[in-house]
Amino acid sequence: MRPALDMARIRAALQESSVTQVIGHERLASTNTEAVAIAQPWALVLAEHQVGGKGRLGRSWSEVPRAGLAMSILVPEPPRAVGWVPLLTGLALHRAVLETTSVVTSIKWPNDVLGPSGGKLAGILCERIAAGVVIGAGLNVDHTLSELPVEGASSLALELGTHAGLDRSALVIAYVQHVDRLLADLTAGGAAAQGVRTAYRKHCATIGASVQVSGAAVDHHGPLVALAVDDEGRLVLRDGSGRSFAVAAGDVRHVRMAE
C-alpha cells in the first residue's frame, strides 16, 4: 500500500504561505471542479485518487490512487499577466521537483513538464472564473511503466530508477510555496516579474526548437521554429517564409517538437 499524503504536515508547512485552507479527498472526480465550486482564493484541493480529472481541451485525466499528485488551487488573477499563470505553474513544478528529488526537468510551452528522458511528468490546466484563476496540476510521482496514463509519459520513479525516497507531501509543500512566491513576483511587476519570465525561458525546452503547431487560429507556411516566449506569455514563431508571429495557449490545439 502506498502511503497517504500527510495532511497535518502539509497544513503546518503552508501556514506562513498565502494558502487559506487545505482540503484533502481520498477520492474525487476533479480537483479543478472542486476548487471552482469552493471559489475561495488560495484554497488548495488535493485528491489521492482523481477519477474524472480534466486536461487541456477537455481531455479526460484519471489518476492511480496515491501514485501521483492531483492538486488545484484558486489564485487571484495577476493584472495584465494572466497568460503567465500556467507558465509560472510549470516553473513552480520544475523547482519543486528539483528541490525534493534532484530530477532536472524541462518545460514544454505552455503546460507540460518533461523528465530528462523527454517523457511527460506533469500537465497543467488553468481555468479563469470570477474569483480568480484555478490552477490544476497533475504530477506522475510513483507510477510504474504500466500505470502511466498515456503513451510518452514518465514518472519521477522511472526517471530516478527507484521508488525509494519519493515524498509526495514534500512535493506538494514545495510546489505551493513556489507558486505563491512566483505569483507574488509576477504581480509586483517590474524587475520581479521580469525575473519570473527570465527563469521560465531558461528552462523552456520549446524555445529554439523546430515545432509543429495545429489550431484554427494558426496560419503559417512551411516549418516553424520557436524563437521566444514574449512578455505576454505567448510563443513567438518563425515560419518558412521568415515571417514571425505570436500565438497564445488558447489559440492552438497542439504544439509538438518536430521530428
Domain annotation for the chain: domains and CATH numbers: 7-202 (3.30.930.10), 206-257 (2.30.30.100)
148-165: pLDDT as tens digits: 978 889 999 999 999 888
More confidently predicted of 95 and 256: 95
pLDDT band at 258 (very low <50, low <70, confident <90, very high): low
Q: What is the pLDDT of residues 195-249, one digit of tens each?
A: 999 999 999 999 999 988 876 456 666 689 999 999 999 999 999 889 999 998 8
This prediction has a pTM of 0.92
Region for 63 from its dihedrals, namely left if φ exceeds 0, alpha if ψ lies in -120 to 50, beta otherwise: beta
How does 76-104 read in b/e, with b if 16+ C-beta sit within 10 Å? ebbeebbbbbbbbbbbbbbbbbeebbeee
Average pLDDT, the chain: 91
Q: Longest C-alpha distance within the chain, in Å?
A: 57
Asked if the model's pLDDT at residue 56 lies above 80, the reply is: no
Q: What is the pLDDT of residues 66-124, one digit of tens each?
A: 999 999 999 999 998 999 999 999 999 999 999 999 999 999 998 899 999 999 999 99
C-alpha cell at 119: 517523457
